[in-house]
Amino acid sequence: MPQPDVAPLSHVLAALDLTQLEDTMFAAPSLPFFLGRIYGGQVLSQAMMAAGRTTPDDGDGPRTLHSCHGYFLRPGRIDSALLFRVEILHDGRSFSTRRVHAIQHGKPILSVIASFQETQPGRDHQDQAPEVPDPETLPSVMELFEANPDPTAQFLARTGAFDIRHPAGDVFMEPAGTVEADQRVWMRARGTMAEGASQLLHRALLIYACDQVMLEPVLRRHSLSWGHEGISVASLDHSMWWHRDVDVSEWFLFEQHSPSAQGGRGLGTARIFDQSGRLVASAAQEGMVRVPEDTEG
């Protein structure tokens, strides 16, 4: 169980330090989570670490993680360790492709394919970052959690590995004041990254952070909050593309949108910029979003 006197990020870093059992088999612990099931971002980030540790190094450094596409198949149990089985699908001159299954009690709970690339020159362009208030001028949701006696809020204040700051206000306990399809949110790791930490680790931590906020634009579009009575939200799938190097110890900005929700599912998309305006990643996630009012009557 994470302790209050230890930086929250350190527990995530320990969980990402996988134990290699065989050439393509790894073991990892599960972290506590208030919902009683494994946090999806945890198992996704661990899968990226497992995949990355099987990719070749041709002498100029390891191949860089640039995309992944995964499905959450079953809820994971926080009281059981995880196995990660990596399948080597392809190693070419420029790209390597891996399939990873995260397994508990003999059954897969996540299936994901990830692609890695040799560093290469090429054309370069990106969309411009939006103008938003500086994160240091905004309140942190950690302050909200610390001031709330609710056990879930206290758990998040103690264990949340990333500081989260919403320019337009959060949707944790109460819905947003206006109905919008878009959201912007700043995030930064709550802890120190070792100097020279690999891009694989930074990129795995970014996907860890993503899963916390990817469905919030769906909530905003329907005047919902995480605290809505009886709400049930779960990630169904996740896709991510890393465009440029990432440093999670610095602030990064999510520019998010929800284009659709239907049938108890909602889609959230994100463009992720660093504080200098570089587009470092893009992501998309569909999730189950159910509220009791939709099935009453």
- Residue 206's pLDDT is 98
Over residues 62-107, the pLDDT tens digits come to 999 999 999 999 999 999 989 999 999 999 999 999 999 999 999 9
- Residue 8's pLDDT is 84
Using a pLDDT cut of 70, give the percent of the chain over it. Answer: 98
Residue extents of the structural domains in the chain: 8-118+138-294
DSSP 156-224: HHHH--EEEE-TT---SSS--SS--SEEEEEEEESS-PPTT--HHHHHHHHHHHHTTTTTHHHHHHTT-
Over residues 18-74, the pLDDT tens digits come to 999 999 999 999 998 877 789 999 999 999 999 999 998 877 789 999 999 999 999
48 and 198 in contact (C-beta within 8 Å)? Answer: no
In the structure, what pLDDT confidence band is assigned to residue 1 with cuts at 50, 70 and 90? very low
Paired tokens of 30:
């599960």
Q: Is the pLDDT of residue 2 over 70?
A: no
Our CA dihedral for 136, 142, 146, 152, rounded to 10 degrees, sits at 170
- Residue 121: count other Cβ atoms within 10 Å of its Cβ: 5
For residues 35 and 216, what is the distance between their CA atoms, to the nearest angstrom?
17
Paired tokens of 296:
């009453």
Paired tokens of 63:
């191949």
274 and 251 in contact (C-beta within 8 Å)? Answer: yes
8-118+138-294 topology per CATH: Porin (2.40.160)
Using a pLDDT cut of 90, give the percent of the chain over it. Answer: 77
The single-letter DSSP state of residue 136 is G
Paired tokens of 190:
């709550």
Bigger pLDDT: 281 vs 56:
281
188 and 141 in contact (C-beta within 8 Å)? Answer: no
Catalytic positions: 211, 235, 285
Of 3-17, 122-136, 162-176, 202-216, the least confident? 3-17
- Residue 18's pLDDT is 98
- Residue 297's pLDDT is 55
Phi, psi of 66 (to 5 degrees): -125, -15
- Residue 5's pLDDT is 42
- Residue 144's pLDDT is 86
Q: Is the pLDDT of residue 261 over 80?
A: yes
CA proximity to 199, closest of 116, 113, 94 = 116
Alpha-carbon distance values, 112 to 63, 158, 237 (Å): 18, 30, 9
Alpha-carbon distance values, 31 to 15, 229, 294 (Å): 7, 26, 32
For residues 274 and 287, what is the distance between their CA atoms, to the nearest angstrom?
26
Over residues 150-181, the pLDDT tens digits come to 887 888 888 899 999 999 988 887 887 788 99
- Residue 148: count other Cβ atoms within 10 Å of its Cβ: 15
Q: Is the pLDDT of residue 3 over 60?
A: no
Residues 6+ apart with CB under 8 A from 111: 70, 71, 73, 99, 100, 101, 102
For residues 87 and 99, what is the distance between their CA atoms, to the nearest angstrom?
5
- Residue 294's pLDDT is 87
